[in-house]
Chain A
Amino acid sequence: MTQPTSQSSAQSVQELVDAAAGELAGINDTDSLEAWRVAYLGRRGRLTLFLRGLAQLDLEERRVAGALGNQAKGRLEELLDERSKSISEAQLTRSASEDRLDVTLPGRPLVTGRLHPTTQIMREICSAFIAMGFSVVEGPEVETDHYNFEMLNIPLGHPARDMWNTLWVDQQDEAGNYPMLLRTHTSPMQARVMESTQPPVRVVVPGKCYRYEATDATHEWHFYQVEGLAVDVGITFADLKGTLFEFARRLFGNERKVRFRCDYFPFVEPGVDMSIDCFACNGEGGGCRICRDSGWIEIMGAGMVHPRVLAGVGYDPEKYTGFAFGLGPERIAMLKYGIEDIRLFYSNDLRFLSQF
């Protein structure tokens, strides 16, 4: 084997580069490209071997040939890079036409669960009050006449009892009365909470209630209520208005207006009923289905806790004042979602439930 000289080196390097470039021009896939790379730039590739052979040259020749060799290496790497890019671009172009996805096909199904709309709305209601410092407490669904009525200033024989048609548990006491019932409202927790704590009190009580009532589109015998109670020194009717107004804005939006009118519940005095201006017609009526053209929608009853209720649990009505309120989450959900029949809530038809 003749010793390479700088001239012969320059010539053979150029030949090598030309040969490599010529070969590369015919390569159209990544496998052949990799074979080409190994053949020229691999550990035993032709250029690599050439560069290794330079070690036998004298210093000056080695310097010149080395520079040429490194130039050639850079050139081949550049060519490789270009070719590699053009091949992958060609592949993408090919797959765009040959392996095109039908993007309109349905996606991979997920398993989705949902909360019952009542649970969703109850959470929304409770959060609004939690943000105002209320705690969430719950109580028994089977109640005593004592807590459901008597502690709420509704003694036996009181005509106001007609406001709550009651389902009684089939157990009579010696006098022939039924002492146990399905609670007709969540209000009995007012007395239960106050009996077990000292003021200040600030609670909301979500829960199921029951009435002995025929059902129709707006009446269910089984429904939920959220009761609220705030008692302390210095709580006023103005605070009641502010708290419930804030609640209405949180649930129905900042632009809502509220209206308070006199109403009657035996366990509050004064009693009040809160309406919001109709969010469907903005109070303009015009055949509004939601507010029946009144411009207002009643959403809850409330009032200042009756002094007899306070005295009944041992709070001094001269010292403490407070307010109580109650609202029906189904009604709120019906208003928000445009549900027209309350009976849909607990018939558990998945076609209804899966919409929320």
Chain B
Amino acid sequence: MKVPLSWLREYVNVDLPAAELAHRLTMAGVEVGEVIEMGGWKECFVGQVLTKEPHPQADRLSLCRVSTGSEEMEVVCGAPNVAAGQKICFAKVGAVLYNSHSGKQEALKPAKIRGVVSQGMICSALELGLSEDHEGIVVLPDDAPTGMSLDSYLGDTVLDLELTPNRLDCLSVLGVAHEVGALTGQPVREPDISYPEDGPAISSQVSISVADPDLCRRYTASLITGVKIGPSPRWLQERLTKAGYRPISNVVDVTNYVMLEYDQPLHSFDYDRLKDHTVIVRRAQAGETLVTLDGVERKLTPDVLVIADAHDPIGIGGVIGGANSEIGPDTVSVLLESATFNEHNNRETAQGMNLRTEATLRFEKGLRPELAPIALRRATQLIQQVAGGQIAEGIIDVFSGEAASPQTVGLSTERLKKLLGMDIDLETVERVLQSLGFHCQRSGPGQVEVTVPYWRNDINIEEDLVEEVVRIIGYDSVPTTMLSTPIPSQQTTPMTSIVGTVKDALVAAGMQEVISYPLVSGADLHRVGLFDEAEPPLRMANPMSAGQEYLRPTLRASLLATLAANEGHSEGPFRLFEVGRVFNPNGGELPEERDMAAGVLSGRRWDPSWLVDDSTLDFYDAKGPIELVMDDLGITCVFEPVDDPFFHPGRCARIFAGKEYLGIVGEVHPSILDRFDLKAQPVALLELDLPAVLQSQKGISRQFKSLSRYPAATRDMALVVPAGVPAAQVQEIVSSHRLVERVELFDVYSGENIASDSKSLTFHVFFQSHQRTLTAEEVNRALQGLLRTLEQQVGATLRA
């Protein structure tokens, strides 16, 4: 909404600088996005065309002598509408104007046009930046003072408002005037809307009925006969232009003007084109069509409210008019409509037709029915003023609701205190509300009954009035206190803390957290082989692109895609993880949202360095972080080898804590890497199902284990076991011996000196007792016992 200050001043005095006014409005909830200064036209003046001669060398150009009062100059003008005697906007050499050929602001230079030197330019609205109009020059009123700078004569300041949806009232200049009045303590002058009604009674000339009052609560109309359609006077055109509207013709301009003045959209019909001079407000019949003002033929349904004459629709109520009743140059009688349409139906119709107009922008928010006749009278008066004619006596007013009972809301100082935490006396409350146009009636001690003015539709409950009071006295006047109520018991979601621990552990393991979009493409899900055709992932009804179509059932696709994107500018090391939700369809209910942690590791293990080798990341680099996570959470888990089509055969393990499946780790199958165009191989991937992790962690609490006061004895144990025996099994046997405190596997070897179906595992074994120092003999006995057990259970022998 653009509000020219010159227009605003018609209703309220504005003494503040524009920036200060903008600030106050913004603080009070009417945000001024921009203060637009119109003008800054240096070297531009009001000029008068003294003579106009044809250009000797060019038919389309004319040669004008222009006076600026103090001097006279010769200029070449190409506009068809230039004429001797006109007051015009004259730019001298040096003026900075918009050049429509280059599309830029440029300084005006002396020019020789077809042999004649032009000492300036007569400007169009486009060149001055007043509007897009470049049809001809701007012709100023005859009383424009020659020689006055154009800034003084035409300059203005426009407030560009960025309104929240509740402030329907500020979609009108008068509404903003009421705000300004309240914020600056100035009275507001509403326009006089009286006019002579010297024509025959309207009721004898038109018949109006509302068949569907649920969709049209109030319908008012007036009739002006004998009008002359033509351009609007300059003041009207100028105001519309500054507010961002293009002037069309006097009658249409008035309807737009009054909408901007009062908020009420109006529509004008050519009275003589209405069959039987009848208007019926009704739902459309199936199969009816209407060519609307934008030239589109629209198919109507019974959900659409139409304005019809005796036979056909002539407009879509509150949305757009019909071409069949449009005001044209030959129109002589105007039927003017000002109505209150149902906001929900209006919004649905507009959305259904994909046609949001200035009218629907207002109707959909629910205009008050009291407004309709006020705006009707104002527009009737103005049409008669600018287009002449005779106004029929009376208006039509079909008000199908209950009689207009003004909206009232109660307010108590007690409620103010309860909500705001401060005392505001009743006098202040009344003063503030009255300055906004509310009417206050004391209804008890510390209580007022407040009547809401017709331009406000957003005041329905006591809290709304509290906001009115506090936004005008200023939020700064409310004290600043700390919460003094008791702190409730903590109710942090358990998953939240697990997620935090897992993230911290993975970061400690050297991994970088990434966060990717939970909407993925079907193609990516197919690439990772996790598009379940039987129960497809949830799809968006209105996806923004094919890349963001499905709610992901896995983090794997996002991570591989992220890896591929980063391979373009780095050789790693890549250690990435994400903790995020995956979504599993759940019939018609909300999907199951599972928090998952997943990571990928690939590329070189180290940043290139003179101190480290150039090895690459592999399975074990992915396993390490899992072990760290589990250790942090106090969960004991095992890794069971498994073959999974997503992973490289023989290089994948499932992770269990007892019977609980916690996740999986492995090197990704090369064919899947190919589908993501991943260059570096291998890519190790880990995945943890956090609800399962949470489940396994329940009941686990860390307990201190006392330290032995006796020394430990260390023995190295080099074993040869069959190649298929898992190391974890051997380690488990060793560490379960009662005297073994700790076991470290420090070498795994196969090759020379070891049979091809075997491998060698070498352990540091630490023997220790809590009761005494172990003797060498005890330790050796224990070692022999262990070796026997190992031989029996896994066929282990001591390495020669």
Contact = CB atoms under 8 A, between A and B. Distances in A.
Interface of A: 105-106, 108-116, 118-119, 123, 132-133, 135-138, 140-144, 157, 159-160, 162-163, 167-172, 178, 180, 182, 197, 200-203, 208, 212, 214, 221-222, 230, 232-239, 241-243, 245-246, 259-264, 266, 269-272, 304, 306-307, 321, 345-351, 353-354
Given A142-B538, A169-B541, A237-B421, A346 B485 contact: no
B444 to A, nearest CB: 17
Interface of B: 26-29, 164-167, 343-344, 347-348, 364-365, 418-422, 461, 463-464, 466-467, 470-471, 475-476, 478-488, 490-493, 495-496, 500, 503, 506-519, 538-544, 548, 551, 562, 565-566, 569-570, 573-576, 581, 583, 588, 590-591, 593, 606-607, 609-612
Contacts of B513: 113-116, 119, 353
A106 B590 contact: no
- By CB atoms of chain A within 10 A, which of B167, B514, B573, B574 has the most? B514
A274 to B, nearest CB: 9
Contact of A132 (B29, B471, B483, B539): B483
B769 to A, nearest CB: 37
Nearest to B549: A170
Contact of A242 (B466, B480, B507, B518): B480
A132 B261 CA distance: 49
Contacts of B540: 167-170, 182
Nearest to B606: A109
A144 B583 CA distance: 15
12 contacts: A106-B611, A113-B511, A137-B493, A167-B542, A168-B541, A222-B519, A239-B483, A239-B484, A260-B478, A262-B475, A264-B167, A353-B514
B463 A242 contact: no
B515 A133 contact: no
Across the A-B interface, give the 4 residue pairs with the lowest CB-CB distance, nearest first.
Answer: A236-B421, A111-B510, A262-B29, A238-B421
Given A135-B488, A232-B485, A349-B566, A354 B463 contact: no
Among B165, B466, B495, B551, the most chain A Cβ lie within 10 Å of the Cβ of B165
A108 B483 contact: no
Contacts of B165: 159-160, 162-163, 264
A348 B515 contact: yes
Given A132-B483, A270-B470, A141 B503 contact: no
A236 B423 CA distance: 12
Contact of B588 (A171, A208, A304): A171
A349 B565 contact: yes
Nearest to B580: A208
B222 to A, nearest CB: 29
Nearest to A198: B488
Given A261-B475, A349-B565, A242 B482 contact: yes
Contact of A138 (B486, B493, B506): B493
Given A167-B543, A261-B27, 15 more contacts: A113-B509, A133-B483, A133-B488, A141-B593, A159-B347, A162-B165, A171-B538, A234-B484, A235-B483, A235-B485, A241-B480, A264-B167, A270-B467, A348-B576, A351-B569
Contacts of B609: 106, 108-109
Contact of B487 (A202, A212, A351): A202
Contacts of B570: 350-351
Contacts of B483: 132-133, 202, 230, 235, 239, 242-243
Contacts of B514: 116, 348, 353
B419 to A, nearest CB: 6
A226 B479 CA distance: 25
Contacts of B486: 200, 232
A354 B27 CA distance: 40
Nearest to B168: A159
B610 A236 contact: no
Contacts of A239: 421, 481-484
A200 B488 contact: yes
Contacts of B26: 261
A143 B590 contact: yes
B467 A157 contact: no
Contact of B610 (A106, A159, A221): A106
Nearest to A317: B463
A170 B516 CA distance: 22
A347 to B, nearest CB: 8
B471 A270 contact: yes
A188 B131 CA distance: 45
Contacts of A353: 512-514
Nearest to B345: A157
A339 B607 CA distance: 27
A132 B490 CA distance: 12
Contact of B491 (A113, A137, A178): A137
Nearest to B579: A119
Contacts of A214: 544
Contact of A304 (B419, B490, B606): B419
B516 A202 contact: no
A259 B476 CA distance: 8
Contacts of B607: 109
A116 B542 CA distance: 29
Contacts of B463: 269-270, 304, 306-307
Contacts of A118: 515
Contacts of A266: 166
Contacts of A202: 483, 487-488
A142 B611 CA distance: 49
A222 to B, nearest CB: 5
B631 to A, nearest CB: 16
A304 B557 CA distance: 43
A140 B590 contact: yes
Contacts of A162: 165
Which of B166, B508, B515, B581 has its CB near the most chain A CB atoms (within 10 A)? Answer: B515
Contact of B566 (A105, A171, A348): A348
A271 B31 CA distance: 13
Given A137-B496, A168-B541, A263 B606 contact: no
Contacts of A112: 510
Contacts of A234: 418, 484-485
Contact of A108 (B562, B581, B583, B612): B612
A263 B593 contact: no
A48 B649 CA distance: 74
A171 B537 CA distance: 12
Contacts of A132: 482-483
A307 B460 CA distance: 12
B456 to A, nearest CB: 14
A200 B488 CA distance: 6
Nearest to B625: A113
A346 to B, nearest CB: 6
A138 B507 contact: no
Contacts of B480: 238, 241-242, 245
Contacts of A242: 480-483
Given A133-B483, A135-B490, A350-B570, A237 B420 contact: yes
B613 to A, nearest CB: 11
A157 B566 contact: no
Contact of A238 (B420, B487, B496): B420
B312 to A, nearest CB: 29
A200 B485 contact: yes
Contact of A113 (B464, B575, B606): B575
Contact of A321 (B27, B419, B464, B574): B419
A260 B475 contact: yes
Contact of A271 (B347, B365, B467): B467
A271 B514 CA distance: 35
A110 B605 CA distance: 11
Contacts of A108: 609, 611-612
A350 B566 contact: yes
Contacts of A143: 590
B96 to A, nearest CB: 22
Nearest to B511: A113
A304 B493 CA distance: 25
